[in-house]
Structure 1
């Protein structure tokens, strides 16, 4: 008697060996160099690293918004099994704001300051769906209520400047959720907000992902945010992912020296009087002049001669990746 194998669900997003570079007169800057990861339906993946590590360019590459002299020139971006790198600009426009949405750090890059919120949200709905203005307005009102904006019917008539920074960001998230997209790319959307508002927005995003099955890529430099929000985490350095896995596994048992350095620099991990706050020495290298071998070698406390050779990605355990010749093997002490 034959056994029928269970169907394997296609992940919402699968990035394979993504390569995005900026072709400058001064040289070639490999902003994203061979990046691969998967985000499943209803899952949140944190993409973390220092400024200039390639996090934001990865997000813009996925949604197709890399401007010249930059361009995606290698790899695959499989969105529900469909390779976005093969689509025309017209086909990508149909997906942006509809099936794929992006939330930026500054909500005023999303909102038009001279138009009322209802006008902007209604236009967003009708850009992709043939519905009446009243139906579009109802969807806009419901979206505002969903992200915790009080009196959503009244606030639809407001202008962006009549909202606080936190409320403007909630509006931007509501716009991103209008079509219940399959994927949201959030590029440090809570960095400029106070801690209370930040925690509320993180809770809303997590709730929306669970309720509607939306996959989320949360781009940030803040590991404490990722710890409370994400299911998985990928750590980027100099355009490459150096470590990835479940958020508990990576943050509790970081193996790459760079990941451990990022965690060690978080003040909340320091017990008063025990030791000084750890800092990663030096600066991230220029993408135009990356060092020979491992890009982190000059800043790494475990660097050795073998690190003069570029390390390949390895899979030390199921669901875990690592790019290092001399990783740590011991668990991080709290």
Structure 2
């Protein structure tokens, strides 16, 4: 069952300097129980894609084109009342900064109970028990004590775990995670990755995991979508994208990760910087940084079928390496 189907999504910001095409024709599909990794450098449009799905784009930004269908229901143009009913209950988001989620003047238990009561009529005792279990699931020691704490009394990593627990409280059908483990140590990170995989398998929750860390998402996601300058440049099964990337940008991201094989040698870098979305280069946005660029790249490439069932937006796809 398809939980999320995004087609041709365009989210633009209308500024005094011009139109910023933060998301420019994105196609995504996530099935029940599936984890999709959305990968790319900072500024590629990953977070704006997540905000667009939840209807959290404020002026001067707005969705100017495309479709966002949740369980077949069109969300582009939906009323704010309908979106509020979906947020937190059906569709939840874990923000990169936990202080965007947590109210600094309310105790943790108050915030978690309110998150439950906003969508369900349960007793305060039952809501507290569910909150306690959610904190324990994300690896918070002494959850009863943490329920009594204010956000400023917790470390940054602890606040992030509380934010993750709140997102899981109402057992959403779609979970959008915006780099939720960035502030956590590797032990807790591994625990949370295990828990979200278990959640998706057991409950059928669909998840979009937004990150710039290929090492994390390679062991978590079923499929990967690589984003650059507001567009998906390569998507497919995780093993196929990581094992044999077809887009030069994907190859560059993988080559920049240190491994045992590269110990003591200089890592290959992607030259240059991500382009300004106000002044994108002609044709393929990656062309000025690409070592495989040709005159054909002066025309914007369209998404096309690639090797191993992948979808690639490139005129000069890389040849698959032999096994």
User: Given the two structures, how large is their TM-score scaled by the length of structure 1?
Assistant: 0.93
Runs of 4+ with >6 A deviation: none
The Cα of 1:136 is off from its aligned counterpart by 1.7
1:97 — aligned with what? 88
Aligned to 1:183: 174
SS in 2 for 1:12: strand
Shift of 1:214: 1.1
1:133 deviation in Å? Answer: 1.8
* Secondary structure of the structure 2 residue equivalent to 1:22: strand
Q: Give, in angstroms, the shift of residue 151 of structure 1.
A: 3.2
Q: 2:267 aligns with which of 265, 277, 296?
A: 277
Partner of 2:159: 168
Aligned equivalents of 1:253, 1:120: Cα separation in 2: 45
Task: Report the equivalent of 1:252.
Answer: 243
Q: CA RMSD in A?
A: 1.6
Counterpart for residue 60 of structure 2: 69
Distance 2:309 2:159 in 1: 37
1:45 aligns with 2:36: yes
Equivalent of 1:86 in 63, 77, 99: 77
Distance in 2 (CA, whole Å) between partners of 1:65 and 1:255 is 33
Deviates more, 1:297-306 or 1:167-176: 167-176
Residues 112-145 of structure 1: CA distance to partner in whole angstroms, max 9, x if unpaired? 1221111001111111112222222222122222
Q: How many equivalent pairs are there? A: 323
Q: Distance in 2 between matches of 1:272 and 1:150?
A: 37
| Runs of at least 5 residues in structure 1 that lack an aligned partner in the other structure | 1-8
Q: Name the SS for the 1:86 alignment partner.
A: coil
Alignment partners' CA distance in 2, 1:52 and 1:252: 25
Other-structure match for 1:315: 305
Q: Is 2:27 aligned against 1:27?
A: no
Change (3 A) 1:332 1:209: farther
For the 8 Å contact 2:140–2:158, the answer to whether it is kept is yes
User: Structure 2: how far apart are the matches of 1:288 and 1:217?
Assistant: 27
Indicate if the aligned counterparts of 1:232 and 1:244 stay in contact, CA closer than 8 A. Answer: yes
Tell me the equivalent position of 1:227.
Answer: 218
CA gap of 1:177–1:307, structure 2 versus 1, over 3 A, is same
Deviation at 1:270, TM superposition (A): 4.1
Greater CA drift, 118-127 or 139-148: 139-148
Structure 2 matches for 1:82-161, cutoff 5 A? 82-161=73-152
Does the CA contact (< 8 Å) of 1:252 and 1:332 recur in 2?
A: no
Deviation per residue, 1:250-284 (Å, 9 max, x gap) = 000001000000000001264325x4201000011
Structure 1 position 332, deviation (Å): 8.0
TM-score (norm 2): 0.96
